[in-house]
Amino acid sequence: MWFANFFIAGSMTMVLPFISLYIESLGNFSPAYVKSWSGWIFAVTFVSAFIFSPIWGRIGDKYGRKNILIMSASALAVSVLLMGFATTVWQLFLLRLVTGIFTGFIPMSQALISTQTPKEMAGKVLGTLQTGSVTGTLMGPLLGGILADTFGYSATFKWVSVTIFISAFIVKFGIKEMKMTVTNMVEKKIYSSKEVMMHIIQHPVLLIVMLTSTLVQIAHFSIQPILSLYVAEIHGLTSIAFFSGLAFSAAGLGNLLFARRWGIYGDKIGHIKILIVLLFMAGIVYFPGAFVTNIWQLVLLRFLLGIAIGGIVPTRIAYIRQEAPLSMQGEVLGYNTSLRFLGNIIGPVLGGVLAGYFGFSSVFFVTSALLVITGVIMLVTWNKYEKLDGELLFSHKS
């Protein structure tokens, strides 16, 4: 399953560096048109994924996750293959929408492995599985850039579809799903959706942490669809797809190298403290992106951004798991995932519109401000309610 996740994550990120460039090749469009449509085409995948992910989860519970994984990979491969034959922006838009319907491969694979793994070693196994998708995400944009420069945009979509088909074959012939029977009904209390929502609302720090999921994704994804256009502006058109892929991959490298380390620090000194530091760090790193004059400055800033963004994800999830009762953790994390998808939807559209009307620099300024403001809100909320909780606990002990 590690290899299947590697191929899926790598394949789906291979096309990201040149989506906007591919749109340009489909007609004689104005720069504003390309920037705006880059945002819409990038975001529509997350809209359909937001709607269909829970549906596939329920189907998987009923009919088996292996079958859903095979269908998901096969459908993804077909939709990506057809992108290579697109002749209009609307065709590409609709195919990206269809792609989002079947985008739940990696979360579904995690659910499959989770149910097949003994509880005492599930964390270790799932952590190892996660490195497959992270490695694929890291290598995908760079390889995609090389393929696009060598074979062209259309051919790259066709090559990518082949690697996705490989994932389907790996699951079909390399994975055996065993039906598990529940023998331990500990902590089986059922919470209504209203009770779960009330628990979140009554814990302000938890509520802000979850809202941070949306704000961080908006910030992180605002630059994604127009990054290749920005690279072209500061570097020129020479090997543009390769250098766009390099800029994408730099953030992935920072994420891969430091995510686990930030999680360890959070365990030692508190996840909220680390989260606040990383929000401010990400906001500060984003700001100078508006003033870069060469590609290597941008790559360095993207690497530093990856360090911060990569740490925000594990510390946030760790805090949610810490604060939500065991019997409602699944639903709370489900809401958190939905909020992340919401950010994935808003971010690319916001970035595309800002770049189209106010220029690339505005995206960096707005994103930086959004992250810093989120850090301030997190700091104020944590400072107020953590102190209150501590004082109440001290009075109770006295």
Could you give the maximum distance between any two Cα atoms of the chain, in Å? 75
Q: Which of 69-78, 135-144, 183-192 has the lowest mean pLDDT?
A: 183-192
pTM (2 decimals)?
Answer: 0.68
As a whole number of angstroms, the distance between CA 174 and CA 108 comes to 16
Per-residue pLDDT, 351: 85
Per-residue pLDDT, 250: 83
Residue 305, sorted as left (phi over 0), alpha (psi -120 to 50) or beta, turns out to be: alpha
Query: Does the pLDDT of residue 331 top 50, yes or no?
Result: yes
Per-residue pLDDT, 377: 92
Query: Does the pLDDT of residue 158 top 80, yes or no?
Result: yes
DSSP secondary structure letter of residue 4: H
Q: Which of 10-24, 51-65, 190-204, 312-326 has the lowest mean pLDDT?
A: 51-65
Region 149-157: what's the mean pLDDT? 82
Q: Where are the alpha helices (DSSP H) in the chain?
A: 2-14, 19-25, 31-63, 65-83, 89-101, 105-116, 122-151, 153-174, 193-201, 204-221, 227-235, 240-269, 271-286, 295-323, 329-358, 360-397
